[in-house]
């Protein structure tokens, strides 16, 4: 899914509305959240124009004295909204994300500038979070707050209020959300004269959201007609292809299963060439096997225990009396069913599980899996940046990561100073990765460790492979 957050600083200009439309359509946005609309009323025609499609739904908070205002736009085919909550400076949308059939909450926030106003908004959102039964939460927008001192840079070297920073971080902790790493610009807002820059816009996600979509990254895009940068949240699910079709070993020993397969295979005769006929027959038999497994393929420990109880109850009822022919046949049938079920259950467990899992069990906790997902997000290769022909840095998304690897190999095995794959000078090729602090991206020097390009033997924990690859790219092998 793609969610776009933008502080537009007003929607009165047709130039701004046109820019938002292009941005929405270019990034295949599923939910569009706009802050500071500066409009008291939002109509359908405006939403359709900015969305680029007539099938659109929206919710808005009117501005007050030509200041503030919020707008959230979505399509019910992607996001089926059930509950809408409009509060002071936020819009909460609760609904089902149709592709994954998952309940989510998306909150569009525009925080007040004064600390008391922020406190009131934080308390209201905490109350909604505590009363919600939905796990995945996404809080986004312009929070008008920084989390750390280095998230604000001024010409006068003044720093932000430590009280506001502490309370903002405390609220994030109470909400049980976290800010994921961002790719692109560090500061999201700046004054027109550049005398003050801050990181005010961000996405905050809950653990359930990150568990559902582990590969989630926020991209700080280039700003155009607003002094805020648009932020794009890209949450994707790895597509490993169709789910494999499995057959339990014990099914093949079951007479009813064998007869079902032979009967359906022999009586289905599709027309066409040989390969097509084989495909259709396998597809046909697959559906019948699935139906058979739902009716007969479920062997559980509870079923075995019930068979044992029935057998013991029958034997206890005939103690001290002659057993009838019907009781003998029932006892024989129960014994056969018990042995068949026990053997099938053992075979199924052996097929499903590995020997180590059977011996030691799965001791991995939910906390362990959250750590693994966090490391995957941090180490994910989102793309690379290079010095383009326009005289500026160009960002290439992760979908073209193979090009970066080909450039690296070509640099190593080509003439010094030039990439043999794309022809770009090797000293101007960049591999981009957002680090924890400020990165001094200087030519001929690693932007992560500060080491001279080509020195790939860095032992800095924050550098790792990325710093080594960056140095290799910049130094031309």
Task: Judge whether 139 lies within some domain.
Answer: yes
Minimal CA–CA distance to 408: which of 433, 441, 386? 386
Question: Do 343 and 395 share a structural domain?
Answer: no
pLDDT of the residue at 464: 36
Question: Do 255 and 216 share a structural domain?
Answer: no
pLDDT of the residue at 196: 87
Task: Judge whether 375 lies within some domain.
Answer: no
Give the DSSP H/E element, type plus range, for residue 141: strand 137-142
Question: Do 205 and 102 share a structural domain?
Answer: yes
What 3 state SS string does 14-33 have? HHHHHHHHHHHHHCCCCEEE
Q: Decide: 59 and 47 in contact? Cβ < 8 Å.
A: no
Question: Do 227 and 321 share a structural domain?
Answer: no
Q: Which residues pair with 84 in a beta bridge?
A: 93
The CATH number that applies at residue 87 is 3.60.10.10
Q: Decide: 2 and 232 in contact? Cβ < 8 Å.
A: yes
End-to-end CA distance of the chain: 38
Whether the predicted model's global pTM rises above the 0.75 cut = no
Distance CA 446, CA 457 (A): 12
CA distances, 401 to each of 190, 219, 347, 395 (Å): 31, 16, 44, 11
Question: Do 70 and 178 share a structural domain?
Answer: yes
Burial 342-379 (b: 16+ CB within 10 A, else e): bebbebbeeeeeeeeeeeeeeeeeeeeeeeebbeebee
Query: How confident is the model over 383-404, as pLDDT tens digits?
Result: 666 666 656 666 665 555 555 5
Among 329, 360, 391, identify where a domain stops: 360
Question: Do 226 and 89 share a structural domain?
Answer: yes
Task: Judge whether 366 lies within some domain.
Answer: no
Structural domain containing residue 428: 381-475
Question: Do 329 and 202 share a structural domain?
Answer: no
Question: Do 284 and 232 share a structural domain?
Answer: no
In a 13 Å sphere around the CA of 202, the CA atoms on its Cβ side amount to 22
Task: Judge whether 244 lies within some domain.
Answer: no
Distance CA 4, CA 24 (A): 8
Task: Judge whether 456 lies within some domain.
Answer: yes
Minimal CA–CA distance to 187: which of 226, 150, 235? 150
Residue 258 backbone phi and psi in degrees, to 5: -60, -45
Question: Do 147 and 21 share a structural domain?
Answer: yes
Q: Decide: 407 and 422 in contact? Cβ < 8 Å.
A: yes
- Structural domains in the chain (count): 3
Task: Judge whether 368 lies within some domain.
Answer: no
Question: Do 57 and 24 share a structural domain?
Answer: yes
Question: Do 333 and 258 share a structural domain?
Answer: yes
Task: Judge whether 241 lies within some domain.
Answer: no
Give the DSSP H/E element, type plus range, for residue 469: helix 464-475
Task: Judge whether 279 lies within some domain.
Answer: yes
Among 330, 360, 390, identify where a domain stops: 360
Question: Do 104 and 164 share a structural domain?
Answer: yes
Q: Which residues of the chain have pLDDT under 70?
A: 156-160, 237-245, 297, 318-321, 352-367, 381-477
């Amino acid at each position: 899914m793609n969610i776009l957050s933008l502080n537009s600083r007003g929607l009165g200009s047709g130039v701004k509305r046109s820019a938002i439309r292009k941005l929405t359509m270019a990034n295949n946005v599923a939910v569009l959240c706009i802050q500071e609309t500066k409009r008291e009323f939002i109509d359908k025609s405006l939403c359709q124009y900015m969305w680029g499609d007539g099938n659109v739904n929206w919710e808005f908070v009117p501005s007050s004295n030509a200041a503030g205002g919020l707008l959230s736009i979505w399509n019910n085919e992607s996001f089926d909204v059930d509950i809408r909550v409009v509060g002071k400076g936020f819009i909460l949308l609760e609904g089902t994300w149709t592709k994954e059939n998952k309940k989510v909450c998306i909150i569009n926030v525009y925080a007040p500038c004064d600390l008391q106003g922020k406190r009131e908004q934080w308390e209201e959102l905490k109350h909604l979070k505590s009363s919600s039964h939905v796990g995945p939460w996404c809080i986004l927008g312009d929070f008008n707050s920084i989390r750390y001192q280095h998230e604000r840079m001024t010409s006068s070297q003044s720093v932000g209020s430590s009280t506001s920073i502490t309370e903002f971080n405390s609220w994030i902790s109470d909400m049980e959300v976290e800010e994921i790493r961002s790719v692109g610009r560090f500061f999201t807002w700046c004054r027109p004269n550049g005398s003050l820059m801050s990181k005010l816009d961000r996405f905050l996600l809950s653990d359930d959201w990150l568990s559902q979509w582990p590969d989630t990254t926020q991209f700080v895009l280039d700003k155009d007609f607003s002094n805020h940068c648009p932020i794009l949240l890209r949450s994707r699910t790895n597509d490993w292809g169709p789910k494999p079709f499995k057959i339990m070993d014990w099914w093949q020993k079951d007479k009813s299963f064998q007869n079902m397969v032979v009967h359906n295979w022999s009586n289905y005769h599709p027309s066409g060439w040989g390969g097509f006929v084989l495909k259709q027959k396998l597809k046909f038999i697959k559906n019948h096997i699935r139906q058979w497994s739902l009716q007969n393929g479920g062997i559980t420990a509870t079923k075995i225990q019930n068979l044992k109880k029935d057998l013991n109850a029958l034997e206890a009822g005939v103690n001290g009396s002659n057993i009838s022919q019907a009781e003998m046949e029932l006892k024989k049938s129960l014994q056969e069913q018990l042995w068949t079920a026990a053997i099938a259950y053992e075979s199924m467990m052996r097929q499903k599980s590995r020997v180590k899992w059977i011996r030691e069990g799965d001791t991995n906790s939910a906390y362990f899996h959250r750590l693994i997902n966090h490391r995957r997000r941090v180490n994910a290769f989102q793309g690379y940046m290079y010095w383009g022909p326009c005289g500026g840095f160009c960002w290439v998304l992760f979908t073209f990561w193979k090009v970066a690897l080909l450039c690296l190999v070509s640099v190593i095995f080509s003439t010094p100073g030039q990439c043999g794959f794309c022809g770009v000078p090797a000293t101007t090729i960049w591999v981009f990765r957002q680090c924890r602090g400020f990165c001094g991206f200087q030519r001929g020097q690693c932007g992560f460790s500060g080491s001279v390009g080509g020195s790939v033997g860095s032992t800095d924990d924050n550098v790792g492979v990325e710093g080594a690859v960056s140095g290799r790219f910049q130094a031309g092998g």
